[in-house]
Amino acid sequence: METNFNEQEKASFRSFLIFSFFLLIILNVGYLLNSSYFRVIKVEVVGNNELFEDTELIKPALGQSIWLVNSDIFSDVILDMPIIEKVTITKEYPNEIKIELTDYDKILSITDLRSSIPKKSILYKNMVEIESDKILNISSLTITNGPVPTGFNGEMVSLIMTIKSYDLDADAFNFIYDGYSFTGEYQDTVINFGPPLDLGSKSSALGSLLENSKCRGEIRFISKEDIIADCK
């Protein structure tokens, strides 16, 4: 009888220890999550912030528990910043964080001459076009007439990204669209793409030709894969 009572005491004591252990964990977690010591008081933003104020990103994090801060809390803000591809959060305990912004690649610098006042913009890899007068060392496109066909920006992205896959200086290409024909220049070569369609396939054929030969002259597409090259 006494043995059974001792076993019951041991079992009850073990249960008490287990309960106390988990209670202590819960209390510690609650303390860590709610303690003012771990509330974010400083936020540093690193990266492109020309198109928005840092405060737009800082606001969701300030005052939050550093344990709960992650990229998800910035999702609503990022939706209003379409050129941002990725947000990386670095935590500096106990109460500081660093937000690193990574932009989508800039694809083209565009000058639109279809109105009395030229419009300048930058086309990004995700096909978003943002007005900007900034001078960049990337491929350029001049639009002299229109209208621009549906899917034009997607064709431009496909064109440049395909060219980048070859051993060519993609930033040395300059293009002109006159409302019908799409032409380009690369070093001493003039390229007539015809209408701005199937530019991914055309740029693949072009890249293969230019990468494997020193063409100086004129290249003309008669289909999306067939080329007439007058190289010197």
The full set of domain ranges for the chain reads 36-103, 106-231
Instruction: Answer yes or no: are the C-beta atoms of 136 and 122 closer than 8 Å.
Output: yes
* Mean pLDDT along residues 207-232: 88
Q: How far apart, in whole angstroms, are the C-alpha atoms of residue 91 and residue 69?
A: 9
CATH topology of domain 36-103: Ubiquitin-like (UB roll) (3.10.20)
| Encoded tokens for 91 | 């935590």
The number of residues in the chain equals 232
For the segment 116-165, what is each residue's pLDDT rounded down to a tens digit? 999 999 999 999 999 998 889 999 999 999 899 999 999 999 999 999 99
Given strand 217-221, what is the order of strands in its sheet? Answer: 129-131, 119-124, 106-112, 140-143, 173-177, 182-186, 189-194, 217-221, 227-231
- The mean pLDDT value of the chain amounts to 84
Instruction: Answer yes or no: are the C-beta atoms of 228 and 219 closer than 8 Å.
Output: yes
Placement of tokens 């109460």 in the chain:
95
* Mean pLDDT along residues 97-116: 93
Confidence at residue 31, expressed as pLDDT on a 0 to 100 scale: 46
Q: How far apart, in whole angstroms, are the C-alpha atoms of residue 23 and residue 103?
A: 45
Placement of tokens 């496909």 in the chain:
158
Q: How far apart, in whole angstroms, are the C-alpha atoms of residue 90 and residue 68?
A: 13
Q: Is 70 exceeded by the pLDDT of residue 25?
A: no
Radius of gyration of the CA atoms of the chain, in A: 30
